[in-house]
């Protein structure tokens, strides 16, 4: 009887030990992923607007001056609303959006010591890629064929120049859910050519619906979370608003064992810039310039995430090289350059964990 009792007690102890060990391994799997991951400190990146004419090292030196370490280049593709077409490398496109310009820009970035993310992105006139949808299977197949050709062209360039990171898509809210098998195959195809780090850029309200994070190296988010509609919210208010969002992001990162990178983040220099920025864009010309609101928004974001090990930094949207490429409202646009927010970014870019 005593022998049987001891055997039962031994079995219970063994199960407890097994559970503790399993929990320890799970916890350290997360830690070990972050340990061997190539992004050891937050990315201090800026998206450089593709210029209409060639860049030179002088064009990118201001980024080095604010301690930026990464740039993202965006070779735009274009679709018509309701059409499965994806056009790129068009003669009417700016130099910096075409293959030739992208290759030259990568070389220039290397000359000033910058790492590169190549981020092909599709623009739909009069619409948004997040809403893109088709009723017929033939249209979906046509779109997949066209989009794959577009992505593979720039994956080829990324491989040729040993680009550190490549983004396979941006904000296709509907398409990632309806055509998940296409995206998974596209990732496999790209990995045949490109051996660097792969990421996808999900919209802030859609990242939990992306079905292929486990096939990628990072979770990418276009981080335009609406925090406050106040005209001039304080840093403390915005920091408080980030807390529940940060908690959710941290849990999501742990679930997939991958760091989260803000593939886009940015704030207009206008009243209410920490709110629904996509709504502000529609009324940009009637809005009042507010540099303090922009400074507070950038400050709050970095102070909220800088110490979080699940966060891999991000790419500020956006920077106009030699002031080229802006749309006529530079003083209200997302860029911090030549504004008080530039000092805020330099402060954080000069800070390491």
In 3D space, the residue among 346, 248, 348 whose CA is nearest the CA of residue 307 turns out to be: 348
In 3D space, the residue among 107, 86, 85 whose CA is nearest the CA of residue 96 turns out to be: 107
Domain assignment of residue 238, yes or no: yes
Share of the chain above pLDDT 90, in %: 85
Q: How far is CA 246 from the centre of its chain?
A: 16
Domain assignment of residue 28, yes or no: no
Q: What is the pLDDT of residues 293-307, one digit of tens each?
A: 999 999 999 999 999
Is the separation of the CB atoms in 290 and 269 below 8 Å? Answer: yes
Domain assignment of residue 21, yes or no: no
Domain assignment of residue 231, yes or no: yes
pLDDT at 352: 60
Domain assignment of residue 18, yes or no: no
Domain assignment of residue 137, yes or no: yes
Whether this model's pTM surpasses 0.75: yes
Quick one: DSSP state of residue 271? T
CATH number, domain of 120, equals 3.20.20.80
Domain that holds residue 312: 42-349
Band (pLDDT 50/70/90 cuts) for residue 327 is confident
Q: What is the mean pLDDT of the chain?
A: 90
Structure tokens at 3: 């022998």
Is the separation of the CB atoms in 224 and 277 below 8 Å? Answer: yes
pLDDT at 269: 98
In total, how many domains does the chain have?
1
232 contacts: CB under 8 Å, gap ≥ 6: 271, 290, 292, 293, 296
| Position 19 pLDDT exceeds 60 | no
User: E strand or H helix at 63, and its extent?
Assistant: helix 57-65
Is the separation of the CB atoms in 341 and 317 below 8 Å? Answer: no
Domain assignment of residue 128, yes or no: yes
Q: What is the pLDDT of residues 178-230, one digit of tens each?
A: 999 999 999 999 999 999 999 999 999 999 999 999 999 999 999 999 999 99
Domain assignment of residue 33, yes or no: no
Given the structure tokens 């599709």, which residue do they identify?
122
């Amino acid at each position: 009887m005593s022998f049987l009792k001891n055997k039962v007690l031994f079995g219970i102890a063994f199960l407890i030990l097994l559970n503790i060990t399993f929990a320890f391994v799970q916890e350290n799997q997360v830690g070990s992923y972050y340990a061997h991951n190539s992004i050891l400190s937050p990315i201090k990146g800026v998206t450089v607007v593709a210029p209409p004419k060639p860049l030179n090292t002088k064009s990118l030196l201001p980024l080095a001056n604010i301690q930026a370490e990464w740039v993202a280049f965006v070779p735009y593709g274009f679709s018509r609303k309701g059409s499965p077409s994806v056009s790129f490398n068009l003669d009417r496109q700016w130099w910096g959006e075409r293959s030739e310009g992208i290759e030259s820009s990568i070389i220039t970035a290397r000359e000033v010591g910058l790492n590169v993310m190549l981020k092909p992105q599709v623009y739909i006139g009069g619409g948004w890629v997040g809403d893109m949808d088709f009723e017929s299977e033939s249209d979906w197949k046509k779109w997949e064929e066209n989009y794959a050709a577009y992505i593979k062209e720039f994956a080829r360039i990324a491989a040729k120049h040993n680009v550190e990171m490549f983004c396979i898509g941006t904000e296709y809210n509907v398409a990632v859910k309806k055509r998940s098998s296409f995206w998974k195959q596209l990732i496999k195809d790209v990995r045949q050519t490109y051996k660097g780090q792969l990421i996808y850029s999900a919209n802030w309200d859609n990242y939990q619906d992306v079905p292929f994070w486990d096939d990628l190296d990072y979770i990418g988010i276009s981080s335009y979370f609406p925090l406050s509609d106040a005209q001039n919210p304080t840093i403390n208010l915005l920091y408080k608003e980030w807390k529940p969002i940060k908690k959710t992001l941290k849990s999501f990162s742990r679930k997939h064992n991958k760091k989260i990178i803000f593939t886009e983040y940015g704030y207009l220099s206008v009243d209410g810039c920490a709110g629904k920025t996509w709504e502000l864009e529609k009324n940009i010309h009637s809005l009042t310039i507010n540099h303090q609101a922009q400074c507070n928004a950038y400050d709050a974001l970095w102070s909220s995430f800088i110490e979080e090990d699940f966060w891999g930094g991000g790419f500020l949207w956006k920077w106009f090289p030699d002031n080229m490429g802006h749309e006529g409202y530079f003083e209200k646009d997302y860029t911090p350059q030549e504004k008080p927010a530039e000092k805020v970014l330099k402060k954080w870019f000069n800070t390491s964990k």
